[in-house]
Amino acid sequence: MGEPYEFSRIFRFRIGEAEEDVVPAFVIDGRDYTDIEKLRNDLRAARDALDQMHLINDRETLSGGPDAPRAIQPSWAQWREQHIVLAEPTGIRPATEPWTEPLGWIEMDLWLTESHSFLQYHLTRAAGAGAGSLISLLSDRGPARVGRASSVAPGDERYRVDSVVLVVPQAIPQALKALTRELSAAGWDVGEPVTGTDATVISATSKGHRIDAVWAHNETAFMLLGKSPVVSATDFAAP
């Protein structure tokens, strides 16, 4: 019989503050072993240790053939020495309680929904201000998380709305003037055009939201970039 398949595998353990947002912590490389029971015992010990530390974790299995590069993460023995024996912080908060909705979560969700509608309305109005313009929505993240997820402290998660609209006008200078008038009439604070060698940018703000019209001079179209403020549930929690 051939040797156990585990000898040709790299087992990468990952940890994080949410199941969908884990990062590599250490590896167990099967090529470092000649005793299959020792390898399997280390795999079990690593998993059990992470569970006992209440760290959200998973394990990836990668090919570890003769030509596979060595992992840049520390070995299980090195990680264990640093974070278990010497008790140095991992930088990852443990999940000692089940996920619970933080204060301000519902209010944040409602605000993001309203923010999305507000931004989409004004982007559409500004994009269509120039007569005969063709409009395409390039991206619309809607309410989306900014940065890492955290089941440990969901109140720390930060969210934002952003969208990108492509505008193909009949005449760009006239369309830019038209969108400036449209946003100004709607109460936006519109700055003066900033014109460089290669591009012109017009920025407008309202209620913490921002719309940038960006025209690269070698293009026959321009983009509207819309962003909301970045918020967390903590911002909406009652004092």
Count of structural domains within the chain: 2
pLDDT for the residue numbered 198 = 96
Q: Specify whether 109 is located in the same domain as 59.
A: no
How high is the pLDDT of residue 45?
97
Q: For residues 44 and 121, state if they share a domain.
A: no
Q: What is the pLDDT of residue 218?
A: 95
Q: What sign does the dihedral 214-173-178-195 (CA atoms) show?
A: positive
Q: Are residues 64 and 160 in the same domain?
A: no
**122 and 202, same domain (yes or no):** yes
Q: Are 151 and 217 members of one domain?
A: yes
Among candidate residues 57, 85, 113, the one where a domain is terminated: 85
pLDDT tens per residue across all 239 residues of the chain: 457 889 999 999 999 999 889 999 999 999 999 999 999 999 999 999 999 999 999 999 998 777 888 889 999 999 999 999 999 999 999 998 888 899 999 999 999 999 999 999 999 999 999 888 999 999 998 889 999 899 888 999 999 999 999 999 999 999 999 999 999 999 999 999 999 999 999 999 999 999 999 999 999 999 999 999 999 999 998 77
Asked if residue 100 belongs to a domain, the reply is no
Domain that holds residue 74: 5-85
| Shared domain check, 209 and 133 | yes
The enclosing domain of 171 has a CATH number of 3.30.2030.20
DSSP assigned state of 151:
S
pTM (2 decimals)? 0.78
Tell whether 19 is covered by a domain: yes
Q: Does 75 reside within a domain?
A: yes
pLDDT at position 2 is 58
- CA nearest 79: which of 65, 90, 92? 90
- In this prediction, residue 200 carries a pLDDT of 97
- According to the model, what pLDDT value does residue 66 have? 77
- 99 within some domain: no
Give the gyration radius of the chain's Cα atoms.
26
DSSP 113-124: HHHHHHHHHHHH
Same domain (yes/no): 79, 159:
no
Domain shared by 33 and 139, yes or no? no
User: How many beta carbons lie within 10 A of that of residue 72, not counting itself?
Assistant: 7
Q: Are residues 74 and 109 in the same domain?
A: no
Instruction: Tell me whether residue 72 is in a domain.
Output: yes
Same domain, 81 and 109: no
> What are residue 13's phi and psi, to 5 degrees?
-95, 135
